[in-house]
Structure 1
Amino acid sequence: MTFTLPALPYSKNDFGDLISPETFDYHHGKHHNAYIVKANELVAADPALQGKSLVELIELTAAHGPKGLFNQVGQIWNHSFYWLGLSPEKKEPTGALLELINEAFGSVDALIEKLKAEAVGHFASGWAALNLKDGKLEVTSYHDADTPVAHGAVPLLILDVWEHAYYIDYRNARPDYADKILRNAIDWDFVAQNLDGLGLTRADQPGKAS
């Protein structure tokens, strides 16, 4: 097996009403795992793809295809990075990250509102994201399985806005999900750590040759 489902860095019971254990069961245990199973099948069928890391496969398939594999590996990385960016303990930005937030948006609340607007305004499935670009913070979004890895971005945080991320707990109320997660469940220490430019590697997995 080339890639495996990464363990959650917390218990699926830790988030209370913000993210239910049932959501983790489906979102992590079924959806995330399904991307891994399919990616492993596709890689196993093509010797030219074997031995490449998750990030290497994303970069390769973003440029040259196949699109089917890109969708799987992009979703694996996005989900892995998403889990790492969550915290059951409410945290606040500090230090260099807080300075960058204030410089770019004026306040933490303004950044959260910007990220929320990006998440809510994003049509259909995808991801809202906070990246570092030319030393400054940038809010953007990605459609479907697209990922910051495919665009050479320096990722700091990503928020899943596919329906499977929130439908069990929030039904179709994406604004409520985005607001509650962004205000109460972001691991701002992880976001700050990614200012070192190594965020891509934190959700990567090494490849294995058959």
Structure 2
Amino acid sequence: MFVLPDLTYAYDALEPVISSKTMHHHHDKHHAKYIEVLNQLLKDSGAAPATMEAAIRDAAGKNAKVFNNAAQAWNHAFFWLCMSGESKPLGGDLAAAIERTFGGVEALKTAFVNEGIGHFGSGWVWLAAEGDTLKVVSTHDAGCLVTEAGVTPILVCDLWEHAYYLDHQQDRKGFLEAWFDKLVDWSFAGQQYAAARGQGAAYAYPAAVPA
């Protein structure tokens, strides 16, 4: 069975951009429900994937219920790690790649926010890498970059309304701008970019444990 990863910071660490109330609801209830449903679906089917990544890939295009719950579990776990309540400055190879691709971090912010507000309905907005090349993309609903061969997620922000509505109501743009300016953990993003270039391992969801 798969487990709900603990947050690496306090529930109020992301305030005022994301409130403690939102974090308790989003992590403890919403994310936890995906894990609960996924584990029951796998138990009922007799499937026992060792990793969340395998569950996602095995279900893609074949089993929508398993895919949606597994991909959403993975996306949320990755999302928590993309944020920090402490300042984690941008630097190194990732900073150079952002300058090379977008013309600087402010231009990346503009592209990221525009992709997010231009995305209709629920989903996710990503900064991703193919080798050392960066791009900003969005995915619908439970869309997950785990299914994209050769693509490494660097950052992601949740575009589902439950991620921001308590704190920002319908102002998705304001949420994305504040999120980018104040919450991004550039240290984690840098590790992901290094992994995309063959330097270390990219993020993987905690492996399944015996029931």
Contact 1:85 1:187 in 2 (8 A): yes
Question: Structure 1's 97 and 129: CA in aligned 2 closer, same or farther, altered over 3 A?
Answer: same
Q: In structure 2, what residue type is equivalent to 1:190?
A: F
User: For residues 49 and 81 of structure 2, what CA distance do their matches in structure 1 show?
Assistant: 25
What is the alpha-carbon distance in structure 1 between the residues aligned to residue 209 and residue 91 of structure 2? 39
* Unaligned stretches of 5+ residues in structure 2: none
Within-5 A mapping of 1:67-82: 67-82=64-79
Match of 1:145 in 2: 142
Indicate which of 157, 160, 185 corresponds to 1:159: 157
Aligned partners of 1:145, 1:124: CA distance in 2, in Å? Answer: 12
5+ residue gaps, structure 1, are: none
Q: CA–CA distance in 2 between the matches of 1:209 and 1:83? A: 25
Residue 205 (str. 1) matches residue 203 (str. 2) = no
The answer on 1:112 being equivalent to 2:97 is: no
Alignment-derived partner of residue 56 in structure 1? 54
Match of 2:130 among 115, 128, 133: 133
In the TM superposition, what is the alpha-carbon distance from 1:3 to its structure 2 partner?
Answer: 1.0
CA contact (8 A) 1:127 1:141 kept: yes
Equivalent residue number for residue 89 of structure 1:
86
The 10-residue stretch of structure 1 (191-200 or 73-82) with the greater mean CA deviation from structure 2: 191-200
Count of residues paired in the alignment: 205
- Give the 4+ runs in structure 1 shifted more than 4 A: none
Q: Aligned equivalents of 1:46 and 1:15: distance in 2? A: 38
1:128 Cα offset (Å): 0.2
Structure 2: distance between partners of 1:148 and 1:200: 12
State the 1:93 CA deviation: 1.0
Q: Is the 8 A contact 2:5 2:206 kept in 1?
A: no
Paired position in structure 1 for 2:31: 32
Q: Distance in 2 between matches of 1:105 and 1:16?
A: 29
TM-score by length of 1: 0.94
Q: Percent identity?
A: 34
Cα distance, 1:5 vs structure 2 = 1.0
Aligned-partner Cα distance in 1 for 2:123–2:181: 20
Aligned-pair distance for 1:15? Answer: 1.9
Q: How many angstroms apart in 1 are the aligned matches of 2:202 and 2:116?
A: 21
Deviates more, 1:33-42 or 1:127-136: 127-136
CA drift of 1:14 comes to: 1.3
What is the root-mean-square deviation in Å for CA atoms of aligned residues? 1.2
Structure 2 length normalisation: TM-score? 0.93
